[in-house]
Amino acid sequence: MYLLYISKNNLEVFKNNQKVSEMSWTPENLAGNLSRLRSTFSRSFRIILSDDFIGVSSLLLTSKEAKKRSSIQSKFQSSISENLSQTIWDYKIVAKFNGQKLVQLVFVSQKFFDIFDLQLLPQKLKLIYLKVFLLLFLDFFPPKN
On the CB side of 31, CA atoms within 13 Å amount to 9
Do 124 and 103 share a domain, yes or no? Answer: no
Do 16 and 84 share a domain, yes or no? Answer: no
Do 117 and 130 share a domain, yes or no? Answer: yes
Q: pTM here?
A: 0.75
pLDDT band per the 50, 70, 90 thresholds, residue 117: confident
pLDDT one-digit tens code per residue, 24-63: 999 889 888 988 988 899 878 888 888 888 888 999 999 9
- How many domains is the chain built from? 2
Do 133 and 100 share a domain, yes or no? Answer: no
**Three-state secondary structure call for residue 137:** helix
Residues 6+ apart with CB under 8 A from 105: 56, 57, 58, 59, 72, 76, 80, 89, 90, 91
In a domain, 145, yes or no: no
pLDDT one-digit tens code per residue, 73-113: 999 999 998 999 988 888 989 999 899 999 999 898 888 88
Do 95 and 114 share a domain, yes or no? Answer: no
Burial of 114 (0-12, 13-18, 19+ CB in 10 A): middle
In a domain, 58, yes or no: yes
Query: Residue 132: which domain range?
Result: 2-51+109-140
In a domain, 26, yes or no: yes
Do 47 and 113 share a domain, yes or no? Answer: yes
CATH code for the domain in which residue 35 is found = 3.50.80
